[in-house]
Amino acid sequence: MAENRTNLDKRISVFEKYKEMVFLALIGVIWSYFFVGSFNKLDKIDDRLYRIEMNTNTLTLKVNLHEESIKELQKEQKHALEEINSLKSSILILQQRRD
């Protein structure tokens, strides 16, 4: 019985001796778990923001291209209207000469 008691005392003294180190190790493991987890979440957020930025840039480029197309079509329309007006005036002049 005395031998069991001394064995238990030895185990308790070893635990007491390394209790602080074990506690600090546990704190370190828990802290690193949260630290790594937070960086993983930040990486995911960064990836999402990058994808949003790329989509926004693509959409902006498409809008700019459409705006340029609209401007070109408006110029063509204006030119066509000028030609129509020119032809109308030529027709009027020809009709006046014929009469």
Q: Parse the chain into domains and list their residue ranges.
A: 1-99
One digit per residue, the tens of pLDDT, for the chain of length 99 reads 556 666 666 666 766 777 888 888 999 999 999 999 999 999 999 999 999 999 999 999 999 999 999 999 999 999 999 999 999 999 999 888 887
The pLDDT, as a whole number, for residue 8 is: 64
Question: Is the model's pTM score more than 0.85?
Answer: no
SS (HEC) of the chain = CHHHHHHHHHHHHHHHHHHHHHHHHHHHHHHHHHHHHHHHHHHHHHHHHHHHHHHHHHHHHHHHHHHHHHHHHHHHHHHHHHHHHHHHHHHHHHHHHHC
